[in-house]
Structure 1
């Protein structure tokens, strides 16, 4: 907007750090008083900050005289901003009332929560006439980690927890990436958001989500045509039945295909073979299953019918099978049984538990993980850290190399295919280095590892990935393309 010839030179001077539309028509007349502003059009000086400038330009009666030089367009623009400010103030008040009713805290505390949210938000929210919602010319830094911020966070967490309890949601729902994205988006939007209605969730938003999923499936199909895919077979079983879930995985992502109750290797093979036919045999690179006997039988049939498709065993399940056999060895099982008895004694009595936590500085010795074998190792390791005299050090040394492999294949930080065989080779080297002194103790462990690797994690795909991995090929001078590796690489 062009200023009239009588515009004031100081109009190019100070203004508040804000994108409010009012600063197009005014500026701070006194840097020491952030409420004293001056109109760029007529030169009138007034109090009340930028909100008063907007009323002045919009010819909003009651608080300030109207600007004689504002055009119809200027008046309409500022009137719209004034009404938006009023609406935001009303929404804020309603939100505060609702929060104070449900949480049972003081209204001033809830207002402090929202004041902090406004100050910390990345996107500026429309300004209102209240000073506490307007930042200073040079706003002070907001301290992080203070008592006030801690109280604000607790109030929000309490509301979230209450919703989960009331809705009967499982506690692991809070770990979803989608709830984190939702919270981030809500924080950027600011207060005043109204949740969608049941009708919107059931119809409008569900239809939109269906379209998004279909578009995602189209992109996955294009990726599958370009680079191929893997078929994942996940078995869920109880005492009565086995259910096989089929998923397809490619560089674009993973999605569910179908499920079927399967009991034998033949039925699993027929189910997987039909899936491969539906997807397209030329597009399937490998089929991945766990190491159960019926899956091994199905894999053998699959190799005979479709030799061009790799079958791979689930690495995490195979390592767990190694653990399962190792912990049955007499020397190791005795130590584990004693450790279990000790932890049961400690955790079964309040006094012994309090005494243990006093000496370990509130550290627990029972650490749960996804698999019970990893949990066993971590309990033993914790006992060793807190009492070096306990005779569990040898068991910890035995399990630690395989736990390292399990953490790698069960994590999602990096693709593990190129590292599985190499890490198992490294674990075997650790056991072999102890073989000269304690050969009788470590020989059964090496035999268990070799038996579980054979036919599961030594396929041509694993060997080729190991040989072509620069981490081993260039950094490990002892890695040489021996006969076993070359046979797997050239098949």
Structure 2
């Protein structure tokens, strides 16, 4: 019996190429795990195909799989839905498509809208190329003319659109402005709402998280996007202009309360916002009214604030300031930048962002990686002979990179303090797996790694630990994080 099961398993895997990209859980061929993103789902190999294809058909799309895997699954699923036609009928149909009518080809899009495999190979290769080239050129001109991103050609929606056009054949009347703006927009809204019903059923079954994401537009309005997250994925709920409520805890509470009411109090497990004082006060009022839900601050925002406080220490402020001066000087002068790229073999210096404090430490890491090229460039004969070398700002930058040993020691010190925290930031800021059950352990490991980086000499890392502990105790030390850690089998 065991031999028979093994033989059946081998046969199944060899027949379906998608078995290479997923694994069985406890040997059960109906309970599978994605080898790319780790998603575990019941439903067998067919459900995994929808997962890789990213068509949102009763399973969340894979965000990590390779493009060729996604295209293969789209092709397989498309072939399953297409009615089967015998080879003789297909050949006769294609022969009709290339007949000359009044000096023009009578063509159908499906003769050249293909994915590289299929019965179109029965046509002569030269005829296929001549037939396909002007159409593809026309499609590409549309992308170029409207400055659309080239990645659109990889979209399943783009492939679906072209297949639909091909199946319609000659004589398709293009959509009018009114149809695109009104008629079919309403139909698509209805379609999205129908898809949303599936998510709402899951919210009722296992609960969900209400999340907020604030930003400021070009008119300086404070806008907040509200989203609902569950194991099936994240759904955009609405965007609200919060300019007149963002600083008022009572108004924020009423807004959050109305959203919980809209989703259903019995469905909301937690509400996640940033840790601004108004949101903290509003969330306390919300938990007081809604006894079954929890408020949690955004872990990414909290860790970013930890990095912000660390940036305020004198050694970090001075080191980051010098690194910015070097970056600004090199990238401001085209000849200097070209020379740097020649010495660094086209490796770049990462320039710090305005709001994300982690980018400052990514800048310092790029300096450490380019320490030798930077020193060699400013000590080279080519640099000494250039007219830039005698300028005041160039002399200042050269002194930082060549003569200032304290700068490079400070870069090394800063990275020893912060690299473990940046790893935690990446963990909580990615969608590969839910981070709730890992934050406790990740923060403990980060603190331990910082101590190890300084051979447990407490005087070197004590201030860093104090900053971490302050933010952790005030914000990240939440009941749900503790429960997730306790229930995580890993």
Report the TM-score range of the alignment, normalised by the length of the smaller protein: 0.5 to 0.7
| Structure 1 residue 362, shift from structure 2 partner | 0.9
Partner of 1:406 in structure 2?
A: 425
Paired with 1:385 and 1:92, the residues of 2 have a C-alpha distance of 60
Partner of 2:236 in structure 1?
A: 255
Partner of 1:21 in structure 2?
A: 88
Deviation larger for 326-335 or 380-389: 380-389
| Structure 1 residue 133, shift from structure 2 partner | 3.5
CA spacing shift, 1:437–1:22, aligned 2, 3 Å: closer
Partner of 2:379 in structure 1?
A: none
Partner of 1:463 in structure 2?
A: 482
RMSD of aligned residue pairs (Cα, Å): 3.9
Q: Does 1:360 align with 2:315?
A: no
| Structure 1 residue 455, shift from structure 2 partner | 3.4
Paired with 2:142 and 2:354, the residues of 1 have a C-alpha distance of 26
Question: Could you list the per-position Cα deviations for residues 249-295 of structure 1 after superposition, in whole angstroms to 9, with x for gaps in the alignment?
Answer: 23333131452422311111111112223332222111110111111
Partner of 1:311 in structure 2?
A: 295
Q: Does 1:124 align with 2:119?
A: yes
Partner of 1:294 in structure 2?
A: 278
Structure 1's unaligned 5+ residue stretches are 1-17, 24-49, 51-77, 96-113, 136-150, 472-491
CA spacing shift, 1:304–1:249, aligned 2, 3 Å: same
CA spacing shift, 1:260–1:87, aligned 2, 3 Å: farther
Paired with 1:433 and 1:124, the residues of 2 have a C-alpha distance of 62
| Structure 1 residue 309, shift from structure 2 partner | 0.9
Aligned residues of 1:231 and 1:247 also touching (Cα < 8 A) = yes
Deviation larger for 80-89 or 206-215: 80-89
Partner of 1:57 in structure 2?
A: none
SS of 1:456's partner is helix
Partner of 2:63 in structure 1?
A: none
Question: Could you list the per-position Cα deviations for residues 107-126 of structure 1 after superposition, in whole angstroms to 9, with x for gaps in the alignment?
Answer: xxxxxxx99x7786223349
| Structure 1 residue 406, shift from structure 2 partner | 1.1
Paired with 1:378 and 1:125, the residues of 2 have a C-alpha distance of 50
Partner of 1:326 in structure 2?
A: 310
Aligned residues of 1:225 and 1:283 also touching (Cα < 8 A) = yes
CA spacing shift, 1:318–1:22, aligned 2, 3 Å: closer
Paired with 1:394 and 1:156, the residues of 2 have a C-alpha distance of 56
Q: Does 1:164 align with 2:146?
A: yes
Partner of 1:202 in structure 2?
A: 181
Provide the TM-score with structure 1 as the length reference.
0.63
Aligned residues of 2:436 and 2:484 also touching (Cα < 8 A) = yes
SS of 2:210's partner is strand
Structure 2's unaligned 5+ residue stretches are 1-84, 373-404
Partner of 1:343 in structure 2?
A: 327
- Structure 1 residue aligned with 2:357, among 373, 377, 386? 373
Question: Could you list the per-position Cα deviations for residues 61-110 of structure 1 after superposition, in whole angstroms to 9, with x for gaps in the alignment?
Answer: xxxxxxxxxxxxxxxxx5x6653332799468899xxxxxxxxxxxxxxx
Deviation larger for 431-440 or 322-331: 431-440
Paired with 1:252 and 1:370, the residues of 2 have a C-alpha distance of 34
CA spacing shift, 1:279–1:207, aligned 2, 3 Å: closer
Partner of 2:97 in structure 1?
A: 84
Question: Could you list the per-position Cα deviations for residues 116-171 of structure 1 after superposition, in whole angstroms to 9, with x for gaps in the alignment?
Answer: x778622334966x562479xxxxxxxxxxxxxxx99x979963652333xxx6x6
Paired with 1:131 and 1:293, the residues of 2 have a C-alpha distance of 68
Paired with 1:465 and 1:440, the residues of 2 have a C-alpha distance of 33
Q: Does 1:182 align with 2:182?
A: no
Partner of 1:393 in structure 2?
A: 412
Paired with 1:350 and 1:187, the residues of 2 have a C-alpha distance of 44
Aligned residues of 1:276 and 1:284 also touching (Cα < 8 A) = yes
Partner of 1:235 in structure 2?
A: 214
CA spacing shift, 1:244–1:134, aligned 2, 3 Å: closer
Partner of 1:280 in structure 2?
A: 264
Partner of 1:423 in structure 2?
A: 442
Question: Could you list the per-position Cα deviations for residues 448-475 of structure 1 after superposition, in whole angstroms to 9, with x for gaps in the alignment?
Answer: 111111232111100111122122xxxx
CA spacing shift, 1:252–1:200, aligned 2, 3 Å: same
Provide the TM-score with structure 2 as the length reference.
0.63
Aligned residues of 1:228 and 1:285 also touching (Cα < 8 A) = yes
CA spacing shift, 1:119–1:281, aligned 2, 3 Å: closer
| Structure 1 residue 236, shift from structure 2 partner | 2.7
Partner of 1:75 in structure 2?
A: none
Aligned residues of 2:324 and 2:352 also touching (Cα < 8 A) = no
Question: Could you list the per-position Cα deviations for residues 3-52 of structure 1 after superposition, in whole angstroms to 9, with x for gaps in the alignment?
Answer: xxxxxxxxxxxxxxx965269xxxxxxxxxxxxxxxxxxxxxxxxxx7xx
SS of 1:291's partner is coil
CA spacing shift, 1:373–1:412, aligned 2, 3 Å: same
Aligned residues of 1:248 and 1:255 also touching (Cα < 8 A) = yes
SS of 1:256's partner is strand
Paired with 2:270 and 2:423, the residues of 1 have a C-alpha distance of 26
Where do 1:43-122 residues align within 5 Å?
Answer: 82-86=95-99, 90=104, 121-122=116-117
